[in-house]
Structure formats: C-alpha cells, structure tokens
Structure 1
Amino acid sequence: MDLNFVARAWQRVPQTAQIWIRRIGFALACVYGVYLVAGNVFLNTPLGEWTANRKPEKFQIAWGRGITLWPGRVQVWDVLIKGHAARATWSVNAERASGRIALLPLLRKTVRVPEILAYEVTGAVDIGGPHKPPMPARPGGWVLQFDRIHSDSIRSGRLGELVLDGVGRADVGFFKQLRGGALELMPSLAHFENARLRYGKEAVLRDGRIDAEFAIARHTRDQARGIAKLMLTDARLKLDGKAPTLRIDVDPQGRIVLGNVAGNGRAQIDLGFARGSLTPGSRLRWHTPVTGRDGRGAQFSDALDIALDVDRDTHLVARAPAQAEGRLSLDADITVRGTQVPLKEVRSLLPRSSGHVVGRWHFASLRWLGNFFHAPWLSLDGAGVVDADVRVVDGRVAGGSRVGVPDVQAVAHVMGNRISGRARADGRLDTGPNDEVLPHLELRMEQFDIAGDDAPARPFVRGKDLLLRLESVTGVDRQALRQPGAMKQVGQAMRAHLTFADAQVPDLRAYNRYLPNDHLRFDGGAGTLSGDLTLDGAGAIGHGTLGVDARAARMHLAGIALRTDVDIDTKLRRADLRRHTFNIDGTRMALRNVSFTEPGGESRSGWWTRIDLQRARMDWDRPVSIDGQAQIAMKDVGFLLALFSRQRDYPKWMDKLIGAGQAQANGKVRLAGQTLLLNDVNADNQRYDVLARLRLHGKQRNGSLYAKWGVLSCAVAVDNGRRDFHLIKAREWYDAQPALMR
C-alpha cells in the first residue's frame, strides 16, 4: 500500500469528518479493549465455569485456561465436560478446543456454534448409575445448535467395559432445546485407524479400521423415550481388523474356561441400520482361530466362523468344526424373516427364526433342560456339556431335534422319595399326528441314591444302573402349564418308565419310616431293592413292581422277634391318585429260614411262609396301610398259635397239630397305623383245622382261636395279658364270639 497516497487521501477528508472518524476508531478500540479484558477475565476466573454450570447435576464443564481475541471466537485448554442423563453418565476430555459462537442468534435465545475444533480427545460412557428422571417439559427453553464439532485427534472412547483405542477423527452436530424440547443428532461421522477394541482385559479387535455414520431425527422426549430413539436413528458401521484367537481350556470335570490371546483372526463388518431395521446389503464376516486343551489334556486348534447377510431376510451361519472331545463345536444355519431388529422384546425374534443348529457346549446350569420336558418332578441341574442337534421352525424346536448330556446331576421326586445321582441324558423330539412336538427323554444313572423327601441328606438305598424313560403321549402347551389344574394335564400328557435292580439297602431299618412300627418293623440286616414302575407326567406311580430281597434280616412281627430271609414282590396298580391308594392284587411275600422265640421262651427255626394277597389295597401315605384278602402257605401253624399263647399253655395234643406239617390258610389282613387285624383266618390240611381272629392295637392284643385235631378241639380267648381256654364246646364258643372291629 502507498502510504503517501493514503496521507493525501486523508488530507482531502473534511476536518469534521476526520474528527468523527478518530472518535469512532477510538470508541471501537475502547470497546475491543473492554471485550479483551472482560472476555479473558470471564474465561480465566471461576465466573465462566459458574455461568456455564447452572445445572451441575446434569451438565458440568471445566477448563484450565482460555483466550478470546475476537468476539464470538474462543480457545480453551484442558477441557472436561461431564453429564448425567437417566441412568447414563458421560464425560469428554480435550487438551485444547476452539470455536465460534454466532452472536446475533443469542437475541433469539439460541446458542449457535457453527464450528468447534477439538484436539487430543477422549470420552467415556457408563450405564447403570442412579436414575435421574428428567424435569417436565416447559416452554421457552434456550436452543443449543452445534453445527459441526470436529476433531482429527480422537485417542480413545469407552462404553462401560468396552474400550476403543486408536487414531480417530469425527464430525458431529446436534440440536437441542432445553426445558424438555426437541433433540436432533445431525448427520455425523467418525473414522478410526489402527483401532484396538477390548472388553475389560480381553482384546476383541486390533489393527482395525472403523468408519461410522449416524444420525437421529429431530424429536421430543414424549415422542421417543429410551430405546425408542433407535426407531428414529440411521447408522452405518464399517469395520475391518484382526480378531484374536479364542482359547478354550477344558478341565477333567468338563468345565470350560474361555480367554483371548493374540491371533490372526479377521473381522469384517458392513452393517446399515435405518429406523429399526438392518438395511439390505449389510454383511458380517468373523473368523476366529480356536485353540486350547481338552478334558484329557490334549492340545487342539480349530476355528470359529460367523457370517451374517441381510437382504429381504437376515441369514446367520456359524461354524466351528469338532475335533477334540469336550470342547466347543457348532454348525448353525438360521434364517430370520425380515430385517427388523427386536429393540424392545428380544423374544419377538423367535417366531421369525427357522433353521438348524448342531453343536456342543458347556452350560453353567442345565436346569432349563429339565423344564423343557414338562416334568416338574424331574430336575436336571449343575454344570454340564450339551450335545445338540436342533431344528427350529418359526421359533419353535421342531420334530427330529435331539439333545444329549453326557454328565448331569439328576433328581426325581417319586411319591415322597428323592432319587438322585449323576446321569447321562439323551432327549429327542418327535412329531405327533397333529404336528405337535412330543419330547422323549432317556436318563441313565450309573450310580444313584434314594432318600425321603423330608430327609434328603440321609439316603437309605444306593444302587447302580437306573434307567428312566420319559415320553409325551400328547402335546402340552407351555402356557397351559401355568393354569390351574395343569398337573392333571401333564399327568395325562406324559408317561415315564423307571427301572433298577438289586440296589443295596445297607440297613433295612430305613424301611421303618414307612411301616407301623408296633406290629411290623425291621430290627436290622441288609438287603436289595428292585423296581419296575410306570409313572405319569406328574411323577405319580401308575403301575409296576417293587421287590425287596434280604438274607438273615431281623424283624418284629405281631409282637414276635424273628430272623428270616425276606422276599417281597409288590404289584402296584394305581386306584386313586388323590388318596394315594393302590390295588396290590398279586403281591407276594415269602419268609424263609425263619427262626423265632415264642412268648414262653421256646425257640423255633426252619419255619417258612408264603403270603399271596389275592385282593388288596394299599395306602401309600406313611405309614403304609394294607387291606386285603390273603392266601397263605406255611410250614406249620406254630407261628399262628404263638400269637395267642405260649406253647406250654396249650393242651399236649396240640404239639401233634404243629407237627402235622404244612398248612394252607386264607383270611383278611388289615395293617393300618397302630392296628394289625387278622380276621376270618382259616388254616387247615387233611388232619386239622385252625380258625383265628386277632386284633393288635398298640400294646393291646384281643382275639380268639379255635383248633381241631380229629375229635379233639380247643379254643382260646386273648384279652391283652389274660388268656381263657375253652376245651368243651369249643366250636360253639368260637362261633359265638363277635367279629373284631377295625
């Protein structure tokens, strides 16, 4: 510029104008000076932060030092911004930031920032803090409009335990009206090079390239709250980087420990999201090497591949070939109808899903497997490996599916008894005549215990090789299981078959919890228990057999102590489920090698008896009660006579009656509570007849007996400790006695 020309031009300006120009210039210089002082004082004293942090519970900003050289332009260092919205807290740090504020919009209560440049930026978001509900919307709120927030030096970001490190840049813009007004996230983008993504201490991605685009349409809080904001969101994510190697170590118990180590996997993602749906053309490819040791200590290496493709539908494929026992294997091919993402209810994805999943995996709990077979009395629990071959049609597991569990803790509750042990479970799903799914389960326990439901820690039976087969007769609607009377429906829809043989009973006294101890109990000995039972879906016995076998068992029967071999074969056929009663026609009980001491002290040995219940009912509730008609074969009538009196009190000729050999008898037997009733007992052979009726109640003993040997006869009445013999007209006396009351 020619200064001489400027000087000559200034001289041609009128004197008055020169004066006003000088005055205006001086005024502007004064105003600028005041601005410099006031603006920089504002930025570098607590006044600035106090002005900005009027709502510290929701928003706070702090900086180290700042400078402004022109109205509306500010530069600050060591910036920290924090905020709290609902249950999320967030923070942003920047070493330096500069920006421009449009001044005229301030007159319209609008803070418009055309541009902010930030340097060396880090950020973090934590979700799950205390909930701070927003204030009710009110009119008149200021508007915050940031057209462009730009940074070429983003260093890291964190969302909970998910951390992203690298070299990034971003352009973000947003609009927000305070006091509950509208919010908009303008079309924004971010880019990262040399990105590393980790979750906690485990690496998820390294040497990655990430590109993201995102925007949220303008809306108010009442129009979209929480996750519903995603229905107004458009986004796209592109990612390409190295995935880590997945390490799987299996201990000898089959438990799996997972971890990540550096590897040469590959992650490639190109996903678009538009207002609640994945956009056609989206795709994902994830290749992860798999290495580790199996349950035998052998080292293996393999790979897991995941592919996702979106067109009109969403197609997911995941594969991990199986080579080593006891580790992950997977072959899944699932198609989801449509592209909608289930934002509010994840379960809504199931009815849209169909496909096939084959795999092996270790579950921390297998309780879900027992629930799957609709058997509330059967539970499968504990950790274990599951081999699955599952077909899915419209979100439902379809016929032809199979599942196997090599080792699981199983517990079955059957009529007051708890059967438990480690088991192998194999299940399958068949298709019924109406296309319903019918579950079948085979459960085999190599070793098992049986205890009472009220004393699960004290098992009284220990056995091997128990087999339980559970099958559906008709389909069961899962929703119907929650309705009143559901157990009746389950009972009709399912049936089970339980078998085991020669399970050890270390102490036969364990059975006394089921027996009326005053008149029938075990005093010692060991034996075995066998069972072949058909159950309904509610775990109640339908029919079957229970067998008890013991040698040299000590028993107490009708007040007489004896030692005997016991063989009981109980035939069960349910009569009334609600009352727990069974028809036990055909039940047999054999006592062999019986030795006992009669009330007078005389000892007997080598005695035996066989009892066949021709028509009988049993009440399962403890103590067990039996009521029926019995056919009895016995070596002699010595034990029957001993129930009434000492041998030396009988006439001498009755010794010959005892020695007259085997007898056949029949009569009515009732065993209930403290009462044992023998009624209308008739024992005879070709040489004698014996009739008897006896009622034992607690320590009380009442009854009458008649015995006939040729022309000789005798009757005896028992009334507790008193006995009355009748040798004349013994039969007439016996017939005149009243029937015993139950």
Structure 2
Amino acid sequence: MKLPAGTKNGLFRLIRLAVIIELAWLVLINAVLQIPYTQTVINGIRPEKFHVSWESAWSPYPGRVFVHGASANGNSRSQIWQVDVDSASGSIGLLPLIFKHARIRNVNADNVTFRMRPRTKPDKDYSRIEAFFPVIEGREVTPAVTTPRKKKSPWQVAVNNIRINGEHRYWIYQLQGSSVAEIEGGLNYRTRGGPLELDLSRLDVDLGKHYLNGDYELLSQGQVTGKMGFTPFNPRENKGLALLDYLLLDVEVHIDVNSLQFIELFMLRLRDVAVDGSGLVSGRLLLDQGRVLDGTDLVVNARDLQVNVPAHRISGSGAVGLEKGANTGGLLNLGFRFRDLELLHRDDPRPVIAGDTMMIKVSSDGRLVPKPELPDENLVVGVEIGKLGVPDLAVFQGYLPPEFPLSITGGDAVLDASLQLRPENANGYIRLVSGNARATLVDQDLQADLTADIVLADGQPGQLAFDLSGSRFVLGNVKVLGQKAEFDDQGWSTRLNLTSARLALADPMRVNAYAELNASDSRPIAAVFRNQEGWRPEFIAKALMVEGIEGTAELEILGRRVAIPDSWVTSDNIEAGARVVFADSGSDGVVYLKYKKVDAVLKLNNGKKNIDLLGARKKYDAYESSH
C-alpha cells in the first residue's frame, strides 16, 4: 500500500525534526552536563538543602541520564546524609514534573556508599555516641529544625525497576557495614509525610563485617536472599517497632552474629526480658505486617546464649529455634535449649543452679507487636529444668527479706522443675532435694536433709502473682547446735504443708501463707529455750522428748517486714506458740512453751531476750508488735 505523497512528506518531516531535536539534545544537554558551571548553578539553588557533583555525565535522549563518580549530600529537618555511586543511570518523565509527579524508571546504581547521621536536638545528649557518627563531607552539624512545617503541596515520587549492584558500604548513625549485593525493586512516596511504599522483589546479599559504636563487631559474615517490602505507611508517625506492622519479609538467612538481641522481637509480649549472645543464624523467616507466617523455621546455634528475666540472668551455650507451621499447630514456638548453663540472681556471683539441661519455650499466635485490644490467648511460657545442681544453698538467702529470721548458710542440692505460665494462670512444680542443708534460726545452727516440693497451683504471671498452695517442705536427720544444748538424731523429722500461700513479686514483695506443721517430737522447740543465756526453767529438759507435734502457722511478708502473726503447735503434753515481727524499725516477739501444767514465755525485743514464768500465757496472748 502506497502512502499519499503528502503523508509521506509529513512523516519525513517528523523524522527529520526528531533527528534534529535528538542531535540538539546530544550536543546542548551533554555540553551542559560537562560544564563545571552547571554543577555550580544547581548547587546554588538550595545549598543548605543539597549539594551534588559528578565526574562525568551524558544523556542519550530526553529524560535518560548516565553519570559516573556521582556524589550528593544534604540536610533534612532531622538528619544529614551523603550518597556516592561509581555509576548510575535512570529515566524520568519530564512532562509530569509540571504537576509535581516524579516518575522515575530503569534505575541502575553500582557500588553505592551511603552515610547518615542525626542533627542535634536540644533535649538529647549525644556526648556518649557523637564520636561514632559518620562525617558528612561539606556539611556542618547543625541543630534539627523543630519549627512547624510550611504548608506546601507534596511531590508524588514513583521509582520503578530499580537495580543496585556491586560492593556497597554504609554508615548509618553508629552502624557501619559492607556487602556485595544485587537488589531489585521499586518504591512510591509522597513527600511531606508520606505514605511510603517499598517493594524489593529480589535480595541477594553477601554481608561483610558490621560494626557498632566503632569497633564492636556485630556480625562477621552472612548471606541473605529473598524479598522484602513495606506496605504504605507514614514515616513520621510510624517509627521503631511500629514499622513491623507494615513490614513484608520472606528471606533465607545464614549469618554469623555477635548479638542475638534480634530475638527479642519475637517476645515483645514478655516484660523485662532481654536476650543476647552470639552464634550462627540459619533458616527462613516470613513476616507479613507484624505477624510471623507459616513456613518460618529459624535456628540459632549459639556459642554463648544469655536470657535476662527479672532479677535473673541465664547464661551458657545452646540453641534457639523459631518455628511456625503445621508442626506447631499454627502457633509460633520460640525455644531456648541451654547447655553448660548458670542461673545467677541479681549481682550474686554464685550460681543458683548450674548444669546441662534447661529449656524455655514461648508459644504465641505469631503477632509481634502487643496490642491491648488484641490479647494473645495462646501465649504460654514453659520452663523445663532437669535435675540441675545447686552448688551453694546460701544463694537462696538473696530471695529472703533482710530481716527474715532464718539465715540459709550452706549446703548443696539438686533442683528440677516444670512450669507453664500464661498471663492469667499458671501451673507446675519446683522440687529441691538436699542432704546437707544448713541454716541459722534464732541463734541456732541447723543442719538437715531437706525436700522442698513447691507447687505452682495458679497465678497471674502477668502481674507477677502466684498461688503456691499445696507446697510441702520436709526436714529429716536434723541437727541442732547451740551453746547449751544440741541433738543429732536421724529419727527426727518435720513436715510443713502450705494450705494457702500467695506470693506477689511486685515491689514491695508480698507473701501471705498459712501452714500445717507435723514434727516427730519437741526437741527443736525446747532447744530454743535451752540455748538462751542466763536462767532457764527446769521443766524445759522434760519437754525435750514429747512426741507427735502438730500445729499451724501464719507468715506475712511485706517488703522488708517479716511477721509471724500466729503459730501454734500441740501434743498430748505440750503446747507452744510464736508471734514475732522483724522489720527495719526493729524486732520483737514472744515464744510460748507449756509442758503439762508448767509454762514459760520467751520475750524478744531488738535482740534482747528474757524468759518469764509468771503470767506466761497472758503475756503471750496480749502481745502486740510495735513494728
């Protein structure tokens, strides 16, 4: 088909015009790009905001630019930044710029270096970390802009088909690192607050060494492959953990790290829990807007592993597993398996327990950021301890108030436990067995076999409140040593059953307990009287061998105040009771003993003691503490 002569001539004219425009573009624009004055003009537009430079640049057609040796730096309201690239190219639609639409595509960048640091804020002290921020070339550190933002129409920025390749370096605040990476993706952003949307459809990253605060090596090497992105969000309103609600992640990782703090992201519902250590992290992690997805299977082979819970630090080696899928019933399971572990209490260097086997398992619905309106009904913390050694029972003295009348002085033991903790209920047990527990009680040195079966009947772990009703303590082979009397009889034993016991670990600690007591005979009770200085009634000696002691006791602890409001034991021929208070302001109390028809009361007042025979029962009944 032949075109009409007029049409053919018109096409030739259009082609000729296009060629002329292209030639003019090549000559004029590329000449402009090579003239140093061009950079001077550009940098004079808003020098306080940005500065750009390049070694060479050219444009093959309108909207497409290639640059080599490019660098840019600038100030935002709160940050200072710098980016350098060996080479970069991209295309931009020119006409949409009239309407404040920047449509950029086919962006390629090789060997990128990026730096960013904060501008100073008057309400923040940077003295400890200032030395670890990067230096931004040509930029002085100036205070952040805190004045209200001017009302301006925003720009709409869309960048598609981004490809970043090569060796990259970055220094962001106190973090420095390098990597060899191939990254593909795109983003959409509206200036002046967002929203921002990011889609990195391909990640293939070989991580080099990363450092924090100068020379602390955060990780030595690793590989990350997969994809990530953010659903649209407002950067000003969503920072820190709030970003998790917009994060999309599907990556395979194999990273050797010197910090395991990232594990805390998966246990944000637990208060005052911290994780650290080092090891090899391997596996797959899938996140979708704040929720861990099925298919996640991450393992940490830890060279050293630390978990800090309120007042305790668990350290050792071991492994951490993170899994969600069919094998977990759709729940997110985070498990810690310790080897060669020590459990320390506060600043005491002596381990509470030490040995090989301890497991902590946290199960949840997989949502990372807690929301009060969406409680996690699947949240469970399980603890399994398999017969670990207690090297020195004296370490348990640190759990008792300073004024507690019993002082644990030594011995060793074996401890095992199984606990299940939910926000509003709890169950399990702790069992401790010792063949040589030693303690001091009212100036008496004690040594005995001890079996403690602590029952976790219920509780509210979220409020640090526990029900220990049903717990039992058994003493056998008891030795009581004192200045005036002692006995050593493997036949003596006693059993203490807590019929009701409530423990609240909030500050101040609170304990309310009621107990039933059974003892084989009365010798320890009589020994308390026998071992006092000065005069002692003769009937005490006769009270030594009364058998079948039974009774009850009440214990109250509030912070540093310890009280036994009432305790009473009886047998066929003996009655005994004690009411005592120990507090910072002082201590006082009474101990009553009756054998057949003869009785006595031991009065305690700030360390002073004396025995009365006259009106002993009345004095005991009338006692009221002044503390």
Residue 619 of structure 2 is aligned to residue 725 of structure 1: no
User: Partner amino acid for 1:702?
Assistant: V
Assess if the C-alpha contact under 8 Å between 2:350 and 2:395 holds in 1: no
- Over the aligned positions, Cα root-mean-square deviation in angstroms equals 5.4
Assess if the C-alpha contact under 8 Å between 2:316 and 2:342 holds in 1: yes
Aligned match of 1:522 in 396, 408, 417?
408
- The aligned counterpart of 1:425 is 320
- The aligned counterpart of 2:485 is 602
Q: 1:563 Cα deviation (Å)?
A: 2.5
Assess if the C-alpha contact under 8 Å between 1:704 and 1:717 holds in 2: yes
Q: 1:85 Cα deviation (Å)?
A: 8.4
Assess if the C-alpha contact under 8 Å between 2:421 and 2:461 holds in 1: no
TM-score w.r.t. the length of structure 2 is 0.61
Structure possessing the higher relative contact order (Cα contacts under 8 Å, 6 or more residues apart):
2
What do residues 693-742 of structure 1 show as CA deviations (whole Å, max 9, x unaligned)? 3425455342322222xxxx21112223232226xxx9xx7379526547
Aligned match of 1:232 in 103, 115, 118?
103
- The aligned counterpart of 1:715 is 599
Residue 12 of structure 2 is aligned to residue 125 of structure 1: no
Assess if the C-alpha contact under 8 Å between 2:204 and 2:223 holds in 1: no
User: Partner amino acid for 2:52?
Assistant: T
User: Partner amino acid for 1:217?
Assistant: L
- The aligned counterpart of 1:631 is 516
Aligned partners of 1:330, 1:652: CA distance in 2, in Å? 83
Summarize the Cα distance change of 1:629–1:502 in structure 2 as closer, same or farther, 3 Å threshold: same
Summarize the Cα distance change of 1:319–1:160 in structure 2 as closer, same or farther, 3 Å threshold: closer
Residue 568 of structure 2 is aligned to residue 681 of structure 1: yes
- The aligned counterpart of 2:137 is none
Summarize the Cα distance change of 1:277–1:331 in structure 2 as closer, same or farther, 3 Å threshold: closer
Gaps of at least 5 residues in structure 1 are: 1-51, 61-81, 95-120, 133-158, 165-209, 240-274, 289-303, 321-325
Correspondences of 1:406-425 after superposition (within 5 Å) = 406-407=301-302, 410-425=305-320
- The aligned counterpart of 1:583 is 467
Aligned partners of 2:243, 2:515: CA distance in 1, in Å? 63
Assess if the C-alpha contact under 8 Å between 2:257 and 2:279 holds in 1: yes
What do residues 307-340 of structure 1 show as CA deviations (whole Å, max 9, x unaligned)? 9799xx99759699xxxxx9967775x69999x9
Assess if the C-alpha contact under 8 Å between 1:558 and 1:696 holds in 2: no
Residue 461 of structure 2 is aligned to residue 570 of structure 1: no
Q: 1:418 Cα deviation (Å)?
A: 3.0
Aligned partners of 1:615, 1:337: CA distance in 2, in Å? 53
- The aligned counterpart of 1:706 is 594
Q: 1:466 Cα deviation (Å)?
A: 1.0
Summarize the Cα distance change of 1:621–1:666 in structure 2 as closer, same or farther, 3 Å threshold: farther
Aligned partners of 1:735, 1:343: CA distance in 2, in Å? 75
- The aligned counterpart of 2:25 is none
Summarize the Cα distance change of 1:387–1:716 in structure 2 as closer, same or farther, 3 Å threshold: same
Aligned partners of 1:541, 1:701: CA distance in 2, in Å? 37
- The aligned counterpart of 1:612 is 497
What do residues 52-95 of structure 1 show as CA deviations (whole Å, max 9, x unaligned)? 979968669xxxxxxxxxxxxxxxxxxxxx9968433314479x
Residue 581 of structure 2 is aligned to residue 658 of structure 1: no
Aligned partners of 1:516, 1:353: CA distance in 2, in Å? 49
Summarize the Cα distance change of 1:124–1:735 in structure 2 as closer, same or farther, 3 Å threshold: same
- The aligned counterpart of 1:217 is 94
What do residues 624-675 of structure 1 show as CA deviations (whole Å, max 9, x unaligned)? 6644332223232011123345599666565454235x42311123153454
Summarize the Cα distance change of 1:498–1:364 in structure 2 as closer, same or farther, 3 Å threshold: same
SS of the residue aligned with 1:512? helix
TM-score w.r.t. the length of structure 1 is 0.52
Correspondences of 1:254-653 after superposition (within 5 Å) = 276=158, 278=160, 316=202, 332=226, 357-363=251-257, 365-376=259-270, 377-390=272-285, 397-407=292-302, 410-430=305-325, 438-453=331-346, 455=347, 459-472=351-364, 474=365, 476=367, 478=369, 480-481=370-371, 489=375, 492-518=377-403, 519-536=405-422, 542-575=426-459, 580-598=464-482, 601-606=484-489, 607-620=492-505, 626-646=511-531
What do residues 429-488 of structure 1 show as CA deviations (whole Å, max 9, x unaligned)? 24899x9x63111110113332335x387754433211011112x56473x54xxx58x9
Q: 1:520 Cα deviation (Å)?
A: 0.9
User: Partner amino acid for 1:658?
Assistant: L
Higher-Rg member (1/2):
1
SS of the residue aligned with 1:643? helix
- The aligned counterpart of 2:8 is none
Aligned partners of 1:601, 1:529: CA distance in 2, in Å? 35
Q: 1:406 Cα deviation (Å)?
A: 1.5
Aligned partners of 1:517, 1:309: CA distance in 2, in Å? 62
Assess if the C-alpha contact under 8 Å between 1:461 and 1:505 holds in 2: yes
Q: 1:287 Cα deviation (Å)?
A: 13
Summarize the Cα distance change of 1:706–1:578 in structure 2 as closer, same or farther, 3 Å threshold: farther
SS of the residue aligned with 1:602? coil
Q: 1:399 Cα deviation (Å)?
A: 1.8
Summarize the Cα distance change of 1:216–1:574 in structure 2 as closer, same or farther, 3 Å threshold: same
Summarize the Cα distance change of 1:706–1:330 in structure 2 as closer, same or farther, 3 Å threshold: same
Assess if the C-alpha contact under 8 Å between 1:631 and 1:666 holds in 2: yes
Q: 1:565 Cα deviation (Å)?
A: 2.9
Summarize the Cα distance change of 1:162–1:645 in structure 2 as closer, same or farther, 3 Å threshold: same
